[in-house]
Structure 1
Amino acid sequence: MSADSVAAVKREILVRHLETWAPGALRRGRRATYVHGYADADPTLTTAALEVFADESYLARGRELTVIALGEPPEVKGLSVLTVAGDPEATAGVALKAAGASRVPLLGVWNAAPGPGALAALATGKPAEIVAVLPAGTAAPELRATLHEAGFPLVAEVELAVSDEPGEILVYGTTLGKHLEAFKDLLWAVDEYAGVRYRDPGDPERHLIDISLSPHPGPLRRELLARLVEVGSATVTELRTYALTDTVYRASDATRVLHALLDAGAVTRRPADGRLGGDVVISPGA
């Protein structure tokens, strides 16, 4: 049952994201490209993704969405898919070039950790995005660094956990800050499934967090305090950005936690009074 619940959460996150991405991408330009790497590794997830595109109600006249599957995808009625056999690391660049995907909105979904070859091909999109599903126990920080080097400066990671054991990790990379914010909002808005909780890969205490629009602030509290110890002091804007880009939380969650830390005397602020605006400097408490 736990494995089924994790699969359901992955499906809902991906489907919700695609339902937003497709119409948004086609509002930005006349063409967009979606590519699914290792399409045969998780047929259920691949099918759920492709079925989003089978409904063409979001396609305005004169707009074109190219769908590419690297591997052997399940057949989805009513959808034309460019299927490319072979190792996605070797075929991604060729397939995307043939589809004319350079400098158009491009989203890749990988049922495995993408390597440098695939990431270089995906980064040619404008804007470019990737969602990758990593096996339990994967070292997420290594992929984060690889994504940064490949041209995806904004990355989010979340572990889908059902126990103290490591769970699968969902990684999202993008070139646009507003897309990262939207993905984080989506993460916390999905339905709760029996036994599935989130874990922040950056939390050394590996605290399990219930999926909620108002998530438990404990891990973020620890991470913000650790950040302040590391840097000495930071503005509210810098801490909000840190929460967005380096934790599983949203920028708005950081504001909520900072208010609580100030009330508890765990941190200090400069100036001492007034609204907690973005330029207020936060320092560790005495």
Structure 2
Amino acid sequence: MPTDAVLRELLVRQLDAWLPAALHRSRRATLALAYAGADAGGADAALRVVGEHADRLRGFRLTVLVLAAGDETLPARLGAVEATLPAEVAVHVVPGDPARLPVALKAAGAAGAPLLTLAHGAAPTPALLAAARSGRPADLLLATAPGAPLRPALDAAGFPLVAEVDLLTAPVPQGSGDDEGLRLAFATGSDRSLQAFKDALWAVGGATGVRYRDPADPQGRAVDVAPEADPGPLARELLAELARRGPRTVTELRRFALTSTLYRAADATRALTGLLDAGVVARDPGHGKLGGDVLVSAAEPAGPAA
């Protein structure tokens, strides 16, 4: 499915950003990939990314856990890639679905060191989320069918930063029950990791025909994917935020975009520029660079003509 291709590319890009940071922070780390009745092709791609960093793994221990059921060719496929990896990388293929992830992570000694987890098709149970949260730091990619929000469960599990997005192949009104695609959440404690995820999100997907939808958008609009996102939908979300909370600085609105929408901080600056040009919002001071300390508020409606 096109959504699986997007998820695989997101995993590859996130791993490529995560692994150097993990190498810098610790002498050991764990990559956990758990699939519930889904194509585990992303595991092959992930191991190839690890191989690209082979020259930096000396003196480091990377454990790769792959949990999957029903893919009889997976051990042979991964074995072929594993044979090209340095001795510092240990790959363990564990039969079973993501429900076994807590036990597998405990056996691997993943707690207390960098941990990147992909759980595809997994129910976000407290046990699974607690296991994924046991890394220091911990990053989690969670993919389920479109439906109930994932953010509340991830907040309850202690992830400080969460992003949610629906990956749609046939966009329909949200809540209709006819969605075709995935709901994807990324949970982390790192602004840098969240920004890397958002950058990857907007760099992939367009060529596959997949469109995105922000689960927080009450109108459930599907948006096209491009490296430079259409600022219109974000502009509406920024206006709604100003209506809810009153005047906000540019820094606060950029952070709102990063942490509460499917957009990036840089997208907020472009959206605000458009709103200012249209006279929909006002700024203080009224002129100069649109810096982080500039205060933005909804523009006062024009009074009746004299």
Is TM-score (shorter-chain normalized) higher than 0.5? yes
CA contact (8 A) 1:11 1:45 kept: yes
1:153 and 2:160 correspond: yes
Separation (CA, whole Å) in 2 of partners of 1:207 and 1:217: 13
Counterpart of 2:222, as a letter, is L
Pair 1:169 & 2:179 matched: no
In structure 2, the residue matched to 1:66 is 63
Give the counterpart of 1:271 among 285, 295, 301.
Answer: 285
Question: What's the % identity of the aligned pairs?
Answer: 49
Q: Which position in structure 2 is the counterpart of 1:203?
A: 217
Judging changes above 3 Å, is the alpha-carbon distance between structure 1 residues 218 and 25 closer, same or farther for their aligned structure 2 residues? same
Alignment partner of 1:125 is 2:166:
no
State the 1:218 CA deviation: 1.6
Match of residue 25 from structure 1: 22
Q: 1 CA distance for matches of 2:227 and 2:96?
A: 41
Equivalent position amino acid for 1:237 in 2: T
Q: Which residue of 1 aligns with 2:92?
A: 82
Shifted more, 248-257 versus 110-119: the winner is 110-119
The residue identity in structure 2 corresponding to 1:15 is V
1:42 and 1:111 in contact (8 A); partners too: no
Residue matched to 1:185 = 199
1:88 and 1:245 mapped to 2: Cα distance? 27
Q: Give the distance between the partners of 1:195 and 1:252, measured in 2 at CA.
A: 24
Root-mean-square deviation (CA), in Å?
A: 2.1
CA distance in 1, matches of 2:190, 2:204: 22
CA contact under 8 A between 2:144 and 2:184: conserved in structure 1?
A: yes
What amino acid does structure 2 have at the position aligned with 1:109?
L
The DSSP-based 3-state class of the residue aligned with 1:221 is helix
Q: Which runs of 5+ in 1 are unaligned?
A: none
Aligned CA distance change for structure 1 residues 70 and 7 (closer, same or farther; 3 Å): closer
Amino acid paired to 2:46: A
Q: 1:60 to 1:81 in 2, by over 3 A?
A: closer
Say if 2:227 is the partner of 1:213.
yes
TM-superposition CA deviations, 1:178-237 (whole Å, max 9, x none): 110111111112263242222222222333322212111121011111111111221111
| Corresponding residue number in structure 2 for 1:258 | 272
**1:155–1:172 CA contact under 8 A, matched in 2:** yes
Give me the TM-score of the superposition, normalised by structure 2.
0.84
Secondary structure of 1:104's partner?
coil
The amino acid of 2:113's aligned partner reads V
Partner of 1:249: 263
Query: So what's the TM-score if we normalise by structure 1?
Result: 0.89
Q: Distance in 2 between matches of 1:219 and 1:191?
A: 18
Q: Report what 1:93 is aligned to.
A: 102
- Secondary structure (helix, strand or coil) at the match of 2:165 reads strand
Q: Give the whole-Å Cα distance in 2 for the aligned partners of 1:146 and 1:58.
A: 38
Q: Aligned to 1:12, which of 9, 12, 18?
A: 9
Task: Report deviation, 1:120.
Answer: 0.8
Letter in 1 for 2:239: L
**Is 1:223–2:237 an aligned residue pair?**
yes
- Match of 1:252, as an amino acid? A
Task: Render the CA deviation track for 1:126-175: whole Å, top value 9, x for unaligned.
Answer: 1100001111x3222xx111111212111112221233333312211111
CA distance in 1, matches of 2:52, 2:235: 42
Gap change, CA 1:190 and 1:164, over 3 Å in 2: closer
Q: Please list every run of 5 or more consecutive structure 2 residues that lacks an aligned counterpart in the other structure.
A: 83-89, 173-178, 301-306
Question: How many corresponding residue pairs?
Answer: 279
Q: Which whole-Å CA distance do the structure 2 matches of 1:158 and 1:93 have between them?
A: 25
| Structure 1 contact 9–193 (Cα < 8 Å) conserved | no
Contact 1:23 1:58 (C-alpha < 8 Å) held by counterparts = no
User: Residue 32 of structure 1: CA displacement?
Assistant: 0.6
